[in-house]
Structure 1
Amino acid sequence: MGKKLGFLAGLVAGAAAAHVAYHHLSDEDKAELKADLQEKMDMAKDRAVDYAFYASDAWDDFKETFSDQSQTVTDRVKNAASQFGETKLKPATDEDDSLRSELADVSTSADDDSDDIVLNSEDTFGGADVAGDATAPDDDSDDTKED
């Protein structure tokens, strides 16, 4: 609250000083000051209008570019979809039928009574106890150390 009150007091004091200084000016100085302020206001208005036109032009360019890019993407998607439809949805040929029959032969040959490879630890490791070998090494080396 103190900062707001200090800012307001400074604003009021500055306005009072400007008012007093303005009334102590001669008529010629007052007219010159008014003309100078009017010129600066006109320049600020012109600059604001220029920036508004720049923003409008930039927005129009963006819309045009976006429209062009979206049309390009739409055309590419349509082209890809038509190519996909032509290659993947074409009617079956004799070559496809031969592949189907070959795959059917492979699946029936896998259904025969061929033996699967089964490994167990006794056959693989010669009956050695693999889990027992994985224990920590003996602590005999600690006895040789001197404190």
Structure 2
Amino acid sequence: MGKKFGFLVGLAAGAAAAHVAYHRLSDEDKAELKADLQEKMDVAKDRAVDYAFYASDAWDDFKETFSDQTQTVSDRVKDAASRFAADPQLKPKTDSDEDSDDSLRDELADVSTSADDDSDDIVLNSEDTFGGADVADEPTTPVDDQQNDDNAKDSTDDTNQE
């Protein structure tokens, strides 16, 4: 309640100060002030009318677009309904269709059990995969030579220390 009361007191004090200031103005200043306020009001009215026209145009565009979209969706639904009625695969199933489904299920079950019985796992061994090549027969790489050189130095160091 304090904030509202303070706002109202400030508003009343500002209005009183504006009233006193207005009455202290000369007649020429009063006329100039009125003309300036009238000009600003006319500009504000023009802008309001412009924005009203913009809003009206936007609303008309929205209605037209919405109407076009609803017509497109309606056409698509009608087209889908006609295709549904014409396509026998999309029609509801009958008892004869269920019998054929059951026979297909039985056939698939027979195939899956026979495949489980005869299946072999794929096993790979190195001889079949690499053609019996022995990895140890390959020439050594420079990295291996460095390791051998380090080992040789260590062994010579051990003999020198003794």
TM-score class normalised by the smaller sequence: 0.5 to 0.7
Structure 2 match to 1:63: 63
Structure 2 match to 1:9: 9
TM superposition shift of 1:6? 1.1
Structure 2 counterpart of 1:56, which letter? S
Structure 1 match to 2:85: 85
> What is the TM-score normalised by the length of structure 2?
0.55
Q: Where in structure 1 are there 5+ consecutive unaligned residues? A: 91-95, 111-147
Higher relative contact order (CA 8 A, sep 6+): 1
Once the two structures are superposed, residues 60-105 of structure 1 have per-residue CA deviations (whole angstroms, 9 ceiling, x without a partner) of 1001000000000110111111111111279xxxxx99x94x939x
Distance in 1 between the 2:7 and 2:87 partners? 76
The structure number with the bigger radius of gyration is 2
Please provide the CA RMSD for this pair. 2.7
Structure 2 match to 1:38: 38
Distance in 2 between the 1:76 and 1:85 partners? 14
Q: Please identify which structure carries the higher helix content.
A: 2
Listed as ranges, the matches of 1:95-114 within 5 Å are 100=100, 103=103
SS of match in other structure, 2:87: helix
Distance in 2 between the 1:69 and 1:12 partners? 55
Identity across the alignment (%): 76
Distance in 2 between the 1:87 and 1:5 partners? 76
Structure 2 match to 1:29: 29
Structure 2 match to 1:53: 53
Q: Where in structure 2 are there 5+ consecutive unaligned residues? A: 91-95, 111-162
Structure 2 counterpart of 1:65, which letter? T
Distance in 1 between the 2:62 and 2:25 partners? 52
> What is the TM-score normalised by the length of structure 1?
0.60
Aligned positions, number = 100
SS of match in other structure, 1:33: helix
